[in-house]
Structure 1
Amino acid sequence: MDKLILGRYIPGNSLIHRLDPRSKLLAMVLYIIIIFWANNLVTNLLMLAFTLVVILLSQVKLSFFINGVKPMIGIILFTTIFQMLFTQGGEIILQIWIIRITSFGLSQAALIFMRFLLIILFSTLLTLTTTPLSLADAVESLLKPFEVFKVPAHEIGLMLSLSLRFVPTLMDDTTRIMNAQRARGVDFGEGNLVQKVKSIIPILIPLFASSFKRADALAIAMEARGYQGGDGRTKYRRLKWTLKDNLALLSVIALGALLFFLKNP
């Protein structure tokens, strides 16, 4: 639980903390788009240097970012190895039976690894420096113009804020249920893969049951307090866009322009 990063906010007063959550969310979207232009050594080094500078500006310990990468390391390695083994082209470096590792496959695997790593670091930075409620408000504010197309901006923001709010609660419930099942003799680490999957069922059923009960209680509480949705409601937390937010977005756009000219055709 202490290493849970999703939905976790680290209080601070750094430059990144003080940015408007809308600018940070837009910067994250732009970052994901321009990272696909980083397809050589120079562009990837630029992306890495930019990310490290932003991390330093956030004044958040590097250990938090490492904890953010750890849960995804299996997926990163699997995707990287898959890319290396099944992407052909260039000079053959190693061949064992039908398995062939080529220079092009290695370069593509390195690109995939860097993209995964950088996206996880930047998204972890977003969640660590932005409160979940501010992030939900930013999503709602950015979706406001799409209400003319019947997009429920307020409802989407509400769902996001409630989801982020109950992530730690669900983790607490999961830990409590696992401890109760262990007390009844269930061992989640023994047996083959099928047996391990079956051992998860005694966790999922009570977890779903408690989640539905909590959702029902929350809906009743909101109705009892007269909740009517977003129409006519005022905001307790007001977002304020400043010059720093313009400069933050311009820095990401400038990085994207630089990558576009330096990328391989």
Structure 2
Amino acid sequence: MALSRIPLKLYLKSLKPILFLVAFTSILNIFYGTGEPLWQWGVLRITANGLITCVFVAVRIVALILASSVLTFTTSPTQLTDAIERLLKPLSKVHVPIHEFAMMMTIALRFVPTLLEETDKIMAAQKARGADMESGGLTQRIRALVPVLIPLFVSAFRRAYDLATAMESRCYHGGDGRTKMKTLRFGRNDWMVILVSLVILAGFVALNLVLPAVGRI
């Protein structure tokens, strides 16, 4: 994160949508852990293993989201496509269309923030028309999302059609005969990321040996 030179507030903003998921999984792991209870009230109990599991699950979810944010903030679609293509290059020996597969994955990843932004716009428009999406029971909230999902699907298909038209107008026909403007090469930052990742992995392995409960997470 420090090497990316991206403001910290952007990373914190990316964590906001998953705070409910982190809290929900943490509560489940706290009250349904195994071992001797530290506190118990009826069927609810808190154990040492439950607390350890809670912390590690929360850290893993946050680390996954932060890693995804670093990738999307610092990597262009072209670089991402080239990286996935190089990763899957051995499959080309068995005639797997790796370039098309890499392009498909890249487009899917880049469409996620676009769809989230479109969802916010549609929800804001529905609320401006008097739609209530935050009150009522679970069934009522699900029904309130129907006016959001239909225009969202229409917008997604329209964007996909526009993208396909743009690619065809640029004579895109897959990876055959394509050249790269910039060839990816390992640099100092790449080696530093690998080193830090190995250190973190070694730390988790050590904790797994010291705290056996972590291995069951």
CA separation in 2, counterparts of 1:103 and 1:130?
40
Q: What is residue 96 of structure 1 aligned with on the other side?
A: 41
* Structure 1 pair 244–106 and aligned structure 2 pair: CA distance change class (3 A): closer
User: Is 1:65 the equivalent of 2:11?
Assistant: yes
User: Is 1:56 the equivalent of 2:10?
Assistant: no
Gaps (5+ residues) in structure 2?
A: 213-217
TM-score by length of 1: 0.68
Q: AA paired with 1:137?
A: D
Q: AA paired with 2:14?
A: G
* Structure 1 pair 115–162 and aligned structure 2 pair: CA distance change class (3 A): closer
CA separation in 1, counterparts of 2:136 and 2:184?
52
CA displacement at 1:158 relative to structure 2 = 1.4
Q: What is residue 215 of structure 2 aligned with on the other side?
A: none
* Structure 1 pair 243–217 and aligned structure 2 pair: CA distance change class (3 A): closer
Three-state SS of the structure 1 residue aligned to 2:3 is helix
CA separation in 2, counterparts of 1:258 and 1:96?
35
CA separation in 2, counterparts of 1:168 and 1:258?
33
Q: What is residue 74 of structure 1 aligned with on the other side?
A: 20
Gaps (5+ residues) in structure 1?
A: 1-54
TM-score by length of 2: 0.81
Q: 2:144 is matched with which residue: 199, 212, 218?
A: 199
* Structure 1 pair 127–255 and aligned structure 2 pair: CA distance change class (3 A): same
Q: How many residue pairs align between the two structures?
A: 210
CA contact (8 A) 1:143 1:151 kept: no
CA contact (8 A) 2:3 2:189 kept: no
Cα deviation digits, residues 183-221 of structure 1 (max 9, x gap):
443222232221111111111112212222332233233
Cα deviation digits, residues 6-55 of structure 1 (max 9, x gap):
xxxxxxxxxxxxxxxxxxxxxxxxxxxxxxxxxxxxxxxxxxxxxxxxx3
CA RMSD, Structure 1 to Structure 2 (Å): 2.6
Q: Percent identity?
A: 41
Which has the larger displacement, 94-103 or 172-181?
Answer: 172-181
Cα deviation digits, residues 70-110 of structure 1 (max 9, x gap):
211111111111111111203x2111112222222222222
CA separation in 1, counterparts of 2:122 and 2:188?
49
